[in-house]
Amino acid sequence: MGPRRALAYAQRNRPRFVEELKEFVRFPSVSSQPHHARDVRRCAAWLAAQLRRIGLDGVQSIATRGHPIVYGAWTRAPDKPTLLIYGHYDVQPADPEEEWESPPFAPAIRGNDLFGRGACDDKGQLLAQVKALECWLKTAGALPLNVRCLFEGEEEMGGGPNFAAFVGQNRRALRADAAVMSDTRMLGPNRPALTYAQRGMVRFALEVFGPREDLHSGNFGGAVMNPVQALCQILNGMHSSDGRVAIPGFYDRVRAWSERERAFMARSGPRDEEILRDAGVKAGWGEQGFTLYERLTLRPALTLNGISGGYTGPGLKASIPAKASARVSIRTVPDQQAREVEEMVRKHVEKLTPPGVTVRLRLLGSSEPAVVDRGHPALRAASAAYRLGFGVRPVLLRSGGSIPAVSLFREELGIPTSLMGFALPTDRIHAANERFHLPNFYRGIDTCIWNLTAAAALLRRGRSTDRAARATPR
């Protein structure tokens, strides 16, 4: 029995699926903002109810020290391989809210796009995977292979410890032969992409403290070190003028890739002008000797995500502020190690700190980079599914982003992840007016339906279906 009936069911139910996605987006499940903790919980409960309704077993919203993990499985085919489906139901903060054309948590359809925070990242893409399961279960009464759904509520916090601890503690109960997630980008509406590499991330909060309290800049300006000035000095010392990261030792472990790999990337990946167009800038920047695509994927990067200190509102506050702070994230690549990078940053910041201020550097989270063999059966299955769902062969891409689950699944479960994204470069994820292109939602569901068939055929069944496979994680 092929997926024909599942695909027909998908087509018939599109309007309802969109309504359900709108329900999902309506929860302001901003994991990083404590005042939204209840919204995150309510969103998890909604998602668990979804999984129950489509017919998964053992569905639960599992409490952690942070936000809940939503789990559900269908493991009734002991002779078939097992696929772990990952996604995250939490979202980025919505600010600056005033830049949204419609409120971030009041999903609105304009043209072919559904607007709302999380519409694309990752609620819409996650739901495409869930709806594919529904289409199978409601038409065939079964899935072509075993499936475990594992949906996180802390992904946008950037590698929080709770999800990692949970996976580590439930290695046996989570056994699978491969993982799949939809949380990455295509190149354009008809140009699907399968992502086989991710950068890691090491994130810091950097605070600079000067005088006990804000000082009048007339009475003290010129005789007291200013924390904003010290912060600018430190942050300016993070890069050298050639666009490279200036932290000593930073590039020591960065892998040099073969000319063959770079040639593959040049053929398959976006050209400089496409990246600049997507970014909305005229000129590129960064390390010489690499294409922009290489700078974003093969090469590490240090980004200043935010800075604040003193007063920048209307009018004047003529003060030397008592403190200033910044957020810094580093995207790492093989074979850099988060732990080592953290140490290098600490030493460098210490060296750059001028007298008269003190500095606090806090590690906010980290994840390691990950690369999946392009020839792995999970990726071949996903590629076949894209050809059937979108009508074209996907390009195999590296991503500059970081999804901690990818390296986590490799390290803890020993499985690769195929990154089947349905986001467009223009979907403005993490920005105001985030949107999800609804045709990608529909074709995404079809592609996920096909992926279950293809993965059932291509994945080798490992230990995923032994006794432990029927266990439920706790």
**Which residues, numbered 368-407, are part of the site for a second copy (CB under 8 A)?**
399-402
Residues of this chain, 144-163, that bind a second copy according to CB under 8 A: 156-158
Least spacing, CB of residue 365 vs a second copy, in Å: 7
| Contact set for a second copy, span 103-132 (CB under 8 A) | none
Asked if 434 and 119 count as a contact pair (C-beta separation under 8 A), the reply is: yes
Question: Of residues 177-236, which lie at the interface with a second copy (CB under 8 A)?
Answer: 185, 199, 201, 203, 205, 210-226, 228-229, 231-233, 235-236
Q: Tell me how crowded residue 221 is: count the other CB atoms within 10 A of its CB.
A: 13
468 secondary structure, DSSP code: G
Among 15, 34, 111, 375, binds a second copy (CB under 8 A): 34
- Nearer to a second copy by Cβ, of 436 and 442: the residue is 436
Phi-psi region of 362 (alpha: psi -120 to 50; beta: other; left: phi over 0): beta
Contact between 311 and a second copy (CB under 8 A)?
yes
Q: Which of 283, 289, 375, 467 binds a second copy (CB under 8 A)?
A: 283
Position 141 contacts a second copy (CB under 8 A): no
Whether residue 414 contacts residue 406, with contact meaning beta carbons closer than 8 Å, is answered with no
Measured CA to CA, the distance from residue 362 to residue 270 in angstroms comes to 35
Return all residues near 107 (Cβ < 8 A) that are at least 6 apart. Answer: 21, 22, 25, 26, 114, 115, 116, 119
SS (H, E, C) 213-240: CCEEHHHHCCCCCCHHHHHHHHHHCCEC
Residue number with CB closer to a second copy (26 or 203): 203
Partners of 73 in the β-ladder: 57, 148
Residues 6+ apart with CB under 8 A from 4: none
Q: Does 429 bind a second copy (CB under 8 A)?
A: yes
- Cβ 266 to a second copy, closest distance in Å? 15
Shortest Cβ 245–a second copy spacing (Å):
9
CB of 124 to a second copy, least distance (A): 16
Q: Which of residues 53-112 bind a second copy (CB under 8 A)?
A: 92-93, 95, 99
Residue type, 386: Y
Three-class SS state of 402: coil
Binding mask 400-419 for a second copy (x = CB under 8 A): xxx-----------------
355: contact with a second copy by CB under 8 A: yes
Task: Please tell me whether the peptide bond between 79 and the residue prior to it is cis, using omega within 30 degrees of 0.
Answer: no
Closest CA to 147 of 184, 183, 179: 179
Q: How far is the CB of 163 from a second copy (least distance, A)?
A: 14
Count of residues engaged in binding a second copy, rule: CB under 8 A: 102
The span of 21-29, 48-56, 317-325, 453-461 binding a second copy (CB under 8 A) equals 317-325
| Residue with smaller CB distance to a second copy, 77 or 304 | 304
**Residue of the chain from 150, 324, 382, 396 that contacts a second copy (CB under 8 A):** 324
300 interacts with a second copy by CB under 8 A: yes
433-472 positions binding a second copy, by CB under 8 A = 433
DSSP per position, 160-213: -HHHHHHHHHTTTTT--SEEEE--SB-SBTTB-EEEEEE-EEEEEEEEEE-SSS
